[in-house]
Structure 1
Amino acid sequence: MIFITGCSGLVGSFIARRLLAAGHSVRALRRKDSNLHYLTDIKDQIEWVEGDVLDVSRLYDVMQGAKQVIHSAALVSFTPKTKDLMYKVNIEGTANVVNISLELGVDKLVFISSVAALGRRKNTEVIDEKAQWEPSKFNTHYAQTKYLAEMEVWRGHVEGLNSIVVNPSLILGPSPWERSSTQLFKYVWDEKKFYAAGSLNYVDVRDVAEIVYQLFVGEHTGERYIVNAGNISFKELFEKIAKTFNKRAPYIKVTPLIAAFAWRGALLQSFFTRKPPFISKETAYMSQKHFYYKNNKIIDTLNFKFKPLQESIDWACTELAQYNHLSV
């Protein structure tokens, strides 16, 4: 039996789908209020258990009998209000999964990290798996939590837990509007005017799931792998999404000065609406930058071919339109 955390999220749900298609039995951790909409076709095939990665006693109970573990649960946030909780969930939660896996004699742990955990530094635009973390203004608090979570995984590996770390870039796929990368699709659908000057790295969630599966069933251990299909400017990405949605693409370039005003305005707005700001100081700053994450290692290891970006966009837009009852 394979135990998965974060199964109700975009990545976890597609990993579960891939495992079930291959005939594996899956037990998945979920919170009581988890949205399972994108799992309607397979949710009855999954053994669901309620719990939380911070509840050690409950986690120990529900992980009994697991032969392998895929740890995908994480909190992604760039707002000060949830920073402390993010550190607790991402680092302490991972430590709990590692410790219980060691105690129960789990055969293999696959940790879904992020390219952010590799760190970003001044005068370094191309990054690979050999990158060494160092404190930098280019690293967000989220990046630091994922880096420290990786340290827990590597500590577990040294203690005898076969482990693999997967570092995806921005993951494209259909999920609720308010979640992670899907907010970019919502931004274009709403015909917002501004686009950031920087670029981003991207990967189709189906490719992430396939790579995790192949690494999981193979003999790979003690390695990390960047999972990234390519790099594209915000402007070009928005234009591609807009064309698919038949919407007007953002057309005003955001300068550093505009970005500074934007995050401050968003913070003030959130004070009155009680909702997380749509942009933070961290995201405003990073949206002006260019970094590229090399994918040579995973391509060579698995002889893998990533899906074309337009195929990923067309698929995500179609799924999102159906889910949100949109006319495209």
Structure 2
Amino acid sequence: MILVTGGTGLVGAHLLLHLTEKGENVRATYRNLSTTEKTKSLFKLHQKEVLFQKIDWVKADILDIPSLEIAFENITTVYHCAAHISFDPKEEILLRKVNIEGTANIVNFCIDKKVKKLCYVSSIAALGDLTQNENIITEDTEWNPEIYHSDYAISKYGAEMEVWRGFQEGLGVVIVNPGIILGSTIWDTGSGVIFGKVKNGLSFYTKGQTGHVSVTDVVIAMTQLMESAISGERFTLVAEHFTYEKIIKIIARKTGSKPPKFYVKPWITAIAWRLDWFIATFLGTKRNLSKFAAQSIHTIDWYSNEKIKNTLNFEFQPIEKVVEDIVNLEKK
């Protein structure tokens, strides 16, 4: 049986859809029963409600050992998708606890229960840092601990270290490092937030650049890697690179929304994150813009996808087509 942690998140839910379509015997974890409704809505969007009923749902928390004991009964392979995503500096401890300690627990159970193989969903945030003579980030780019990283990036990098520990102890592992994942807007995180803001009339943009990928491509790559003999490798999953300006305007065009008009320069976001810190500190509100986020939306990054393409002869979907498909699916 296959175990999917984080079955109520964007990647986990699409992975469950993909696995059940293939006729796999699947168990998925959830923390709150109400969150499974988002996964159910995804199956309904694809007219696959009958497959949703075939999932063996288990209430479990990756930080709760007794619940994991139940979740791991008769499991042969594991897709670890559960994670905490936040760029709020106030959540540093929670990020490290969930993403690092939680992953350590999953790895330990995989070893103890003699699981054949583990796939861990990391992030491009956990990839290395370019030196002065480099211009594109690959799976082999070294992490520089002296460079400032977001707490989220540190937590995902730390989680990867736990996975590599498992590999050294004999566990079969693969790691995927997706860029910004585009998928159904049912989720109020990640690309779901981007789609929502654009449809509501996002008026500004920046010219920073990063890699984007379809959630469908992510889950297909994951399953192909797990079904292969490959182990002890990580793979960057990025289809195309777009500036934030371009991806926002593509979404606006496909959704029939007004495109943003105002370019926000770096000095403006530098002021904005300081104001955000001041308000959050003295009013106790949640941070909306951290220093790292304010800087990253102006940074131009390039990621190589050659390894996954050469290893699996993998072909990514064009991002503009991905956005169009997302919009058309949710119009049904």
- Measured against the shorter chain, the TM-score band is over 0.9
Q: Give aligned-pair identity as a percent.
A: 36
- Could you say what secondary structure the match of 1:127 adopts? coil
Give, in whole Å, the separation in 2 of the partners of 1:295 and 1:235: 22
Equivalence for 1:128: 138
- Could you say what secondary structure the match of 1:200 adopts? strand
Corresponding residue to 2:70 among 51, 55, 61: 61
Instruction: Write out per-residue CA displacement over residues 124-183 of structure 1, whole angstroms, 9 at most, x where no aligned residue.
Output: 441001111112545211111111100100000010101111111110011335311221
Give, in whole Å, the separation in 2 of the partners of 1:269 and 1:34: 31
One-letter amino acid matched to 1:224:
R
Normalising by structure 2, report the TM-score. Answer: 0.91
Equivalence for 2:117: 108
1:210 aligns with 2:211: no
Equivalence for 1:325: none
One-letter amino acid matched to 2:116:
D
Equivalence for 1:237: 247
Give, in whole Å, the separation in 2 of the partners of 1:272 and 1:190: 29
Give, in whole Å, the separation in 2 of the partners of 1:230 and 1:197: 15
1:151 aligns with 2:152: no
One-letter amino acid matched to 2:19:
L
Equivalence for 2:86: 77
Q: CA deviation at 1:252?
A: 1.5
1:15 aligns with 2:24: no
Alignment of structure 1 residues 1-328 onto 2, 5 Å:
1-32=1-32, 33-40=34-41, 41=49, 42-121=51-130, 123=132, 124-176=134-186, 178-268=188-278, 276-320=286-330
One-letter amino acid matched to 1:160:
G
User: What is the aligned-residue RMSD (CA, Å)?
Assistant: 1.9
Equivalence for 2:46: none
**Contact kept? 1:2, 1:26, Cα under 8 Å:** yes
- Could you say what secondary structure the match of 2:263 adopts? strand
Normalising by structure 1, report the TM-score. Answer: 0.92
Q: Could you list the runs of 5+ residues in structure 1 that have no partner in the other structure?
A: 323-328
- Could you say what secondary structure the match of 1:130 adopts? coil
User: Given the superposition, is the C-alpha separation of residues 321 and 141 from structure 1 closer, same or farther in structure 2, using an over 3 Å criterion?
Assistant: farther
Q: Could you list the runs of 5+ residues in structure 2 that have no partner in the other structure?
A: 42-48
The alignment covers a number of residue pairs equal to: 322
Instruction: Write out per-residue CA displacement over residues 14-63 of structure 1, whole angstroms, 9 at most, x where no aligned residue.
Output: 11111111111100110124243233434311000001000012112221
**Contact kept? 1:121, 1:138, Cα under 8 Å:** no
One-letter amino acid matched to 1:38:
T
Q: CA deviation at 1:265?
A: 3.4
**Contact kept? 1:138, 1:286, Cα under 8 Å:** no
